[in-house]
Structure 1
Amino acid sequence: MSYVDLDAYSRHLRSAHESAATGRPWPEAPRHVIRASWRRSLDAGVDPDVTGAPLVYDSADVKQVRLEHPLRPLLPLMTTTLAGLADETGHIVVVTDGDGRALWREGNHTIMRRADTIGLATGHQWAEHAVGTNGIGTALAIGRPVHVYSAEHLMRVLHVWSCSAAPITDPDSGHVIGCVDVSGTSSSLHPATVALVAATAKLVETELTVRMHQRDERLRRRYESLRSRPGILLSSTGRVISGDPTGGLGGRVPLLPAAGRRMILKDGTVALLEPFSDGFLLRPTMSPGSAASPALRLAFLGESGPTASVGEHERPLSLRHAEILTLLALHRHGLTAEQLSFHLYGDAGNPVTIRAEIHRLRAQLGDAIAAKPYRLTCPVEADFLELRRLLTGSDPAKVASAYTGPLLPRSESPEIRRERDELEAQVRACLLRRGSPDDLWTYAQTRNGRDDYEILERLAELPPTDLRSAAARTRLHP
């Protein structure tokens, strides 16, 4: 971009930014990646007039996080590649974790002092939801390198800055674990810097891959020297290292339960997860076709209190325990305590409360619930799941028979209320469209069907000698 073009783009940006910041229509939007970032940032409630990034780690926290972070051994590689250039050209290098929290910073001391005034320093968070559009936060949000120039930043205080950043993905876990960024004044940081930053991130990912393969090989040799019976060797993150020649597990076992717990593999095999050195072993305990582990049966529809059964033992459940089991049955890959808390209580939820409830629930159901994340490890037979299956078929009589009432009618959980309302609407639509008088009458005995005007009108149209017609007319005109 020429200086003439840059001046014109800067004027265009200032106009677009003022419109975005004041909620007016944008006369001419900036480039797509910035426009999308502005919308995400404004939707997150970022104030363009905020004067700096929030501090989320004090110095003691930063030291501890650095010690445990997987990028710590590779910091010399990044600083060798970038820090010398940054110091000579009046820029700084910042390395963050996967949430945009700055952990390391090096470069020109004068620029670092200026950066301190806006929180571009260790311990501060630069995710988009915290400070809006910026190199670090936007690179993490879109998952690729980005250059953010001057007024492309949402916060006005950053308009004298430009930055180039690239995310770093851990090949072991598959998760973004950090971001490397070069920042400087708008006039001094060339947009081409993003290519160098991207190359540095790729260099780090390559080194992480080499170290991952070295760990895998050490673990494989250790296992082969001690192996006494077959098993599937996993890394600490659930990657399959050996023991799955057909690739049936897909390269990774997702959402690892706690060691010592059973899990059901894709082919139906039940396996026991055991810790092994720096990884895990999956030991088959049951082959497909063998006697299956007892199913967890859930009865949560209708006015009767919720119950759960494992084998021959049926036990009543509190509403909170029934809600937790409903959510775990709907999310078979599992939920964290934070996710369960949000689904149950919304933003006011407390994960500590959920962990306590799960502890009590596991005391009743034992190995049926695994941890990290919380998930059901045994076959599940739930009346509301069976109803969902029947709704995809073509037999309204079976739907009417299976629907004994709303799902956990006393629950105020936002997620369960949505599921309850959706099931109710689908059942009603199915019966009104294809149901026989017997099906409609069965539905009319449920909590919501008793006073359903359209259902009762259909029944009232039956011959006067039909007792169902008389009952419907009485309900319609009490």
Structure 2
Amino acid sequence: MNKDSTLDLARLAAMDVTHSSRLLKGVREATLSGLRPRVRPRPVIGDSWQRMLRDGVDPDYDVHSGVLTAEQLEEKRQASPLVPLLPMLREALVTVADATQHIMVISDADGRILWREGHHGVLRMADRLGLTLGAHYAEDVVGTNGIGTPLVTRRPVQVFSAEHFVQSLHPWMCTGAPVKDPRDGRLLGVVDISGPLDTMHPATLPWVYSVAQLAEARLREQWQGGLERLRSVAAPVLARMSGRALAVDPFGWTAAVTGMPPVDRVALPKSLAEGCCWVPALGACSVTPLPGGWLLMVDEEPRTLGATRIALDVRRPRRWSLEVSGAAATWTHELSPRHAELLYVLALHPAGRSASALAEDLFGDPTRTVTVRAEMSRVRRYLGPLLAHRPYRFADDADVAVLLPDDPRDLLPHSVAPAVVAARAAGSGL
């Protein structure tokens, strides 16, 4: 190989297992020693290794540590939104996995292994490697791996042999894809196929990714079905009303509306209960529970938000949120990766940004104003009057705070937006 060449999955698959494993071990050892390796790791692996070195993850970590008890595991299983998907995942993965000496592994959004099934011999091997039920495979715990790394990058990742940061996992290959909630982009967990080194194949990556996409499609169908049921309940109630009102599911998605233009979604307060509350896009509302959601009746008497504080929290590597607190209410909204980028960029520029400037900040292309305006329209659905335009900015009377990670290099690690990349490189969040 030429000096400074970069590995990829196809080249690794073309080598015999011994050769590729030895090559990767040399690359890893040079990286851990602070040397420049002769062959560079794949970018997704190299970036992960750098995060592990910065965070001080032990390359000799005992992956058998910190396993959940049976009671704790069952509690997490019952709370997992992936439970309804298990029959589909088994059908799509386990039969093939068993025949090809793989196992299926499913984790939650924190990297805890909740289920594993497949080839019995491979399951025994996984036990020896610590890939057991209840084990914690977050990247900041066991380093680069096919469960924790997809949770950070929010993309499918295949990790082979010494690409694993922790040495005890070098006899292993794993391929994982994140499953996201179609309602809000929130991470729900990872679907992973794992096995010994000689089971490595580049086609495993698109296979696992397609199954994760199918899981998200099933979740979308279930969600739409819930909205339809809520709509059937709410329609006769709304038909008897003369003012502005709407029926929403627990996540704020609209099932039916009367007396006002339809909206896709409204941001709900953190703890919604029957009575009165403040909804940013609507103002003061009376709240009544419905089967599968809530009825919001808008108070037509004008009120004001009062002093408002907006806290944009981007400290965590894969969960970002916006908390708005004021005299009327406090509410929290989990952000998609794109909206986390967009609101962070607006926080960088209190005076505001034009659509073309935001397009340059997010995409490196000032002509992508249509995409920016569409995203800003979606943000306004939950920020309402707290987001001004011409130029786009937070409301002048809002106190905006950004909660940043301790290391600026961990700022929105998934993001390739030029403004975010520049902030990481500069080593300062704001």
The TM-score by the shorter chain falls in which range? 0.5 to 0.7
Q: Kindly tell me: are residues 333 and 157 of structure 1, through their superposed partners in 2, closer, same or farther at Cα, counting changes over 3 Å?
A: closer
Name the one with the larger strand percent: 2
Name the residue aligned to 1:370.
330
Structure 1 unmatched ranges of 5 or more:
297-327, 340-361, 374-387, 391-413, 416-478
2:46 pairs, out of 31, 35, 50, with: 35
Deviations 1:24-55 (A, max 9, x none): 44444201111111112222221111131543
On the 8 A contact 2:278/2:329 being kept in 1, the answer is no
Shift of 1:204: 1.1
Q: Tell me, in whole angstroms, the C-alpha distance in 2 between the residues paired with 1:59 and 1:223.
A: 42
Question: Structure 1, residues 375-413: CA drift from partner, whole Å, max 9, x if none?
Answer: xxxxxxxxxxxxx999xxxxxxxxxxxxxxxxxxxxxxx
1:172 aligned residue? 183
CA displacement, residues 82-140 of structure 1 (integer Å, 9 cap, x when unaligned) = 11122222211111111111111101122212212232121111111111110111111
Q: Following superposition of structure 1 onto structure 2, how do residues 6-405 of structure 1 map, counting pairs within 5 Å? A: 9-52=20-63, 54-227=65-238, 228-229=240-241, 230-243=244-257, 251-253=265-267, 256-259=270-273, 260-266=275-281, 269-286=283-300, 290=302, 292-293=303-304, 295-296=306-307, 329-331=309-311, 368-370=328-330
Contact map agreement 1:53 1:131 (CA 8 A) in 2: no
The Cα of 1:257 is off from its aligned counterpart by 4.5
RMSD: 3.7
Tell whether the 8 Å contact from 1:238 to 1:256 is kept in structure 2 after alignment.
no
CA contact (8 A) 1:265 1:271 kept: no
How many residue pairs align between the two structures? 322
SS in 2 for 1:243: strand
Alignment of 1:439-478 (within 5 A): none
Runs of at least 5 residues in structure 2 that lack an aligned partner in the other structure:
1-9, 320-324, 334-348, 352-401, 404-430
User: 1:250 offset after TM fit, Å?
Assistant: 5.6
Aligned to 1:352: none
Please state whether the residue corresponding to 1:208 is helix, strand or coil.
helix
1:273–1:281 CA contact under 8 A, matched in 2:
yes
Structure 1 or 2, whichever has the larger Rg, is 1
Aligned residues with identical type, % of pairs:
33
Q: Is the 8 A contact 1:87 1:107 kept in 2?
A: yes
- Paired position in structure 2 for 1:355: none
Q: TM-score, normalised by structure 1?
A: 0.59
**Shift of the alpha carbon at 1:150?**
0.8
- Higher RCO by CA contacts (8 Å cutoff, separation 6 or greater): 2
Specify the SS of the correspondent of 2:122.
helix
Residue type at the aligned position of 2:107 = T
AA of the residue aligned to 1:43: R
Letter in 2 for 1:370: T
* TM, length-normalised to structure 2: 0.66
Give the helix-richer structure, 1 or 2.
Answer: 1
